[in-house]
Amino acid sequence: MVFNPIWFRFFVLIHFSKGMSMDAASVTGLLSGFLALFFLLLLKPLAVHVDLMDRPDHRKIHSGAVPLVGGLSAFLGLCVTWLLEMPLSDGYGLFLACAALLVLMGAVDDACDLPANFRLGSQIALGAALAYGSGISLDSFGNLLGFGVIELGPLGPIVTIAAIIAATNAFNMVDGIDGLTGSLSLVALLSLCWLFSASGRFPLELTFCLALAFGLAPYLMANLRIFPFKRKIFMGDAGSMFVGFAVVWLLVQGTDLERSAFRPVTALWLVAIPLMDMVAIMVRRARKSIGHDARSGPPPSYLSQSRAY
């Protein structure tokens, strides 16, 4: 692995700002990275045998068939590491269970293209299970408009479910350029690492951020063909949806009113690019659909005339 001074300065800064409390999180992160690398090397030939490959078509211009196991390796590295070293309390056991189902659905979608309605329904169900099952949801929008804190009350879980669906699909939709989803998620995760570390009240969330960031590193190296990888590996829908699911879970945790690490509006800035890209895609598709309907014109007159006899 090529030495990266930016990463080194980042971890040194956090380490000396919070002392030895960073050691356990760093070790957990490294273990997640090594396990993700192991699973990446294990899944790569398996993807060929089960045909979990991405092939060029009218929407994809890459060359040849590319394995779709980058996200799977990151999830497995994080999941196994968490099961070995970290507690399943505070909603993390339920999160891993929901994430596993989401990743499984994403892998099946990568292989055989599931219907959009089924994917959306599954995301709603998993979001509801996580929000209501864990009891962790958005409490407020903060002082968003400058007129005081906007409390959500009983709408909190519903807004949380909507946020989970939005982030999950935003990171999935932005996955159209090599390494883009992985890079954007890495920026969000490292930002969250800094915020959680500065707060000092989120040891589990800090560890989770580092574990996921290190888990994504082998995939990014393979995707960008950094030594020793010579062939590309794609993240796949399984990985992009999992990343969005994990990031929004961390954002909800960080905006908890009782021990807030950052304001709700800060959470929006951390995922602003994927969200704006998703909105832009939806607007373009809507315009395209409207333009297509306008060009098609009204139906022939004989189809709209009623029979008088």
Could you report how far apart the first and last alpha carbons of the chain are, in Å?
81
Residue of 102, 79, 86, 93 whose CA lies nearest to 244: 102
Question: 74 with 240: CB under 8 angstroms?
Answer: no
Helix (H) or strand (E) segment spanning residue 53: strand 53-54
pLDDT of residue 54: 75
pLDDT of residue 6: 43
- Please, which pLDDT band fits residue 259 given cuts at 50, 70 and 90? confident
- Please, which pLDDT band fits residue 307 given cuts at 50, 70 and 90? very low
CA dist 243 and 216 (Å) reads 9
pTM above 0.85, yes or no: no
CA dist 145 and 111 (Å) reads 45
**CA dihedral (190, 93, 156, 124) positive or negative:** positive
**pLDDT, tens digit (0-9, with 9 covering 90-100), for 103-146:** 999 999 888 888 989 999 999 999 999 999 998 888 887 767 77
Average per-residue pLDDT for the chain: 81
Check pLDDT > 70 for residue 22. no
Question: 166 with 172: CB under 8 angstroms?
Answer: no
pLDDT of residue 208: 94
Average pLDDT over residues 254-283: 84
Structure tokens at 205: 């969330």
